[in-house]
């Protein structure tokens, strides 16, 4: 291994990955994904789709999940900075309903591995951010689920700055509470 550093989180299955970056006066080089290194780190799955989004400061996307076709995700930021959050929705998990957040940026080059059956979202902290991620299943538009981003039971500590105006899609403002989701599962 040696090309990536893997940190476990207080929620089993979540991992923060820091790649080895080789830099000089020309710039830098890093492997963003190597199946063998990730397999050795316990992230042994086939990714079938890559996605990319661009957002301005204050955009909050999430908290999303797929109901019948859950996805493992490997997320990172290639420009700017976001606060990325995963919520444990695994039935029977000892950390069910708990969340974990991490700052991902073009500077720290960290990646966040989020297993199946987690809700996921992020808040853009920089003026502009480009967010990329790999998924182990395809997007199924009729399989979307979500939790309200400001659910009082989850009590996610989004790092908003004074005066920061949030931009949230209409769809993301209508998701049910975590408690309502729990009743349906």
pLDDT digits (tens, 9 = 90+) for 49-90: 999 999 999 999 999 999 999 999 999 999 999 999 999 999
Q: Is the pTM of this model over 0.75?
A: yes
Interatomic CA distance for residues 28 and 25, integer angstroms:
8
Flag whether pLDDT at 1 surpasses 50: no
76 vs 31: CA distance, rounded Å: 13
| Side-chain half-sphere CA neighbours of 4 within 13 A | 25
- Residues recognised as catalytic: 64, 133
The answer as to CATH 2.60.120.10 being correct for domain 46-184 is: yes
Share above pLDDT 90 across residues of the chain, in percent, rounded to a whole number: 95
Q: What ranges do the domains of the chain cover?
A: 46-184
- CA torsion 135-41-119-182 (nearest 10°) is 130
């Amino acid at each position: 291994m040696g090309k990536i550093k893997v940190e476990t989180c207080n929620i089993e299955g979540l991992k923060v990955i820091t790649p080895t970056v080789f830099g000089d006066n020309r710039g830098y080089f890093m492997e963003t994904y190597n199946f063998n290194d990730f397999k050795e780190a316990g992230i042994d799955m086939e990714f079938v789709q890559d996605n990319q989004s661009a957002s301005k400061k204050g955009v909050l996307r999430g908290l999303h999940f797929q109901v019948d076709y859950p996805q493992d995700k490997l997320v990172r930021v290639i420009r700017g900075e976001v606060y990325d959050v995963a919520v444990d929705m695994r039935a029977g998990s000892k950390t069910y309903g708990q969340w974990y957040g991490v700052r991902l940026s073009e500077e720290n080059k960290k990646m966040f591995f989020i297993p199946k059956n987690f809700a996921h979202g992020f808040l853009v902290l920089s003026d502009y951010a480009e967010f990329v991620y790999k998924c182990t299943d395809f997007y199924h538009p009729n399989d979307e689920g979500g939790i309200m981003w400001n659910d009082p039971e989850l009590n996610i500590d989004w790092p908003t700055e004074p005066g920061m105006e949030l931009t949230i899609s209409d769809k993301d403002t209508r998701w049910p509470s975590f408690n309502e989701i729990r009743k349906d599962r």
